[in-house]
Structure 1
Amino acid sequence: MISPQAFYTAIDGTWPAATKTRVGPWVIRDGQGGGKRVSAATAEGAFVDADIAQAETAMRTIDQRSLFKVRAGEDALDAALAARDYEVIDSTNGYVAPVSALTDTPVPPVTAFAIWEPLAIMAEIWAQGGIGPARLAVMERAQIKTGILARWNEKPAGAAFVAIHDGIAMVHAVEVLQSQRRQGVAQWIMRRAAFWAQENGAETLAVLTTASNGPANALYQQLGFSPIGGYHYRIEPAGQ
């Protein structure tokens, strides 16, 4: 099992912000519209309550609403932000599994493909799930990467993005078309991701999902993933 710190580092490495800047005890991420994962500040050292204003100023300077990622064990940060009326959003579960745990079953022919650059149909599938050009730009910034295109019932069914950082292959942007859900498509996406990871030297497969996404959490647990590295965000109150 990898460490939670290695897991958090892999998130940054496989879903990279446009820039990361150290400001006091904080890492400030410029997401350029690519979502919370690439826009949230994190505490990378000891801080005092007054340091929070430093991070807020840095985020406002790049025209981002103040947003912090609070990782497991960061109770002091959570309490400090709560005292400032920051709201909790998107509690997220992390999962990891040995790549070998998902390569025990071959992917049926013509079911899932590893493809990069993404095909137009992949971009269309992602767009239906709210994964637009800014998030595609995040994908482009990753180094070792591929897309996964799934087919089912002889039609396009889903898409995902996979990238590798320090031996950890992390799956992002899993999207299955509404008409193709509940038919095992996501399982084949994950297994194809594992085979690609194995082919590219990764030993661990990782994935993130919101705690509220019951079907995704159930799927990853059924596939043998173990929980690791949960977190949530704290966002400044609207109007501030």
Structure 2
Amino acid sequence: MLSVADLERLSAESWRGLSREAYGDWLLRAGGGFTGRANSVLVVGEPPAALPDAVAAVTCWYTTRGLRPRAQVPLPGAEAADAAFAAAGWDRDEDVLVLTAPLAGWPEPSVAVSIAAEPDDDWLVGYRYRGAALPPVARDVLLAADDPAFLTVRLDPPPAPPAAVARGVVVEGWLVVTAVTVDESYRRRGLATAVMASLGAWAADRGAHSCTLQVVCTNAPALALYERLGFTEHHRYHYRLAPLSS
């Protein structure tokens, strides 16, 4: 079993943002403001300075880029850093569960699923990040990985939206799944299971043995789906966000 730090570093290779910079063991990432993972410092290991000074350095790095400073804090392992961010007045966001499962015993896809190396306009329409349409920078962030796969399920012809989309990247034998989205009008038809099954088969063909993904702790339908596919909780993380006045 991978450690928390190792799994976080592995997952970070699947969603890199547009610029990255090491800060000791920590990883500073910026991606035009699109998604927390692409625009936060990954707090694993040790920074090159005392924690209060590290918090100040992170704050400066993001503010000079016009971004609200944000830290991704995995637990267990980053308790001391989390306390330092809290002491500096950084807000705490909700828990995100990091789940893992072996790529074995998943069902066959129940519908046709197309796979592409890049997200076309159709896919970008289908991916609703936190319920909203994507900003222009999203495409660049989505492509910032080695050989990502973009899956689409279409049940009706345009102008109907895609019924479901998802994205996957294989990193060191692990399938890292992101962007699973089922359009509201097509839900409860097993489409999320279908795209996960297709991603699993695609990744297994590339030597993957396991899968990891992240889901917010309040997303009960997604958690129920992933439990049926054999996922269990590996660890959790949350974001710390600097005060808006910083």
TM over 0.5: yes
Report the 3-state secondary structure (helix = DSSP H, G, I; strand = E; otherwise coil) of the residue aligned with 1:124.
Answer: helix
C-alpha separation in 2, matches of 1:195 and 1:106:
9
Question: Equivalent residues in 2 for 1:135-154 (5 A)?
Answer: 135-152=138-155
Number of matched pairs: 237
1:221 shift after superposition: 1.1
Assess if the C-alpha contact under 8 Å between 1:32 and 1:134 holds in 2: yes
Aligned to 2:115: 114
Aligned to 2:99: 95
1:61 shift after superposition: 1.7
Distance verdict in 2 for CA 1:24–1:60, change over 3 Å: farther
Distance verdict in 2 for CA 1:33–1:48, change over 3 Å: closer
C-alpha separation in 2, matches of 1:135 and 1:119:
12
- Which amino acid is 2:30 matched to? D
C-alpha separation in 2, matches of 1:63 and 1:224:
41
Identity over aligned residues, as a percent? 25
Report the 3-state secondary structure (helix = DSSP H, G, I; strand = E; otherwise coil) of the residue aligned with 1:228.
Answer: strand
1:144-195 deviation digits (Å, cap 9, x = unpaired): 2111112447873110111111111111111110101122111111111101
1:43-76 deviation digits (Å, cap 9, x = unpaired): 3315432321111111212221111111112111
- Which amino acid is 1:126 matched to? Y
User: What stretches of structure 1 of length at least 5 have no aligned partner?
Assistant: none
1:115 shift after superposition: 2.1
1:141 shift after superposition: 1.6
C-alpha separation in 2, matches of 1:160 and 1:68:
25
Aligned to 2:73: 70
The one of 175, 183, 196 aligned to 2:189: 183
C-alpha separation in 2, matches of 1:28 and 1:3:
20
Report the 3-state secondary structure (helix = DSSP H, G, I; strand = E; otherwise coil) of the residue aligned with 2:243.
Answer: coil
Greater than 4 Å deviation, 4+ residue runs:
152-155
Per mean C-alpha deviation after superposition, the further-off stretch among 222-231 and 122-131 is 122-131
Assess if the C-alpha contact under 8 Å between 2:16 and 2:145 holds in 1: yes
Q: TM-score, normalised by structure 1?
A: 0.90
Report the 3-state secondary structure (helix = DSSP H, G, I; strand = E; otherwise coil) of the residue aligned with 2:151.
Answer: strand
C-alpha separation in 1, matches of 2:18 and 2:220:
31
The one of 173, 178, 188 aligned to 1:172: 178
Q: Does residue 42 in structure 1 map to residue 42 in structure 2?
A: yes
Distance verdict in 2 for CA 1:219–1:109, change over 3 Å: closer
Per mean C-alpha deviation after superposition, the further-off stretch among 24-33 and 173-182 is 24-33
C-alpha separation in 2, matches of 1:108 and 1:25:
43
C-alpha separation in 1, matches of 2:18 and 2:120:
23
Assess if the C-alpha contact under 8 Å between 2:166 and 2:181 holds in 1: yes
C-alpha separation in 2, matches of 1:218 and 1:37:
24
C-alpha separation in 1, matches of 2:102 and 2:3:
13
Report the 3-state secondary structure (helix = DSSP H, G, I; strand = E; otherwise coil) of the residue aligned with 1:71.
Answer: strand
Q: TM-score, normalised by structure 2?
A: 0.88
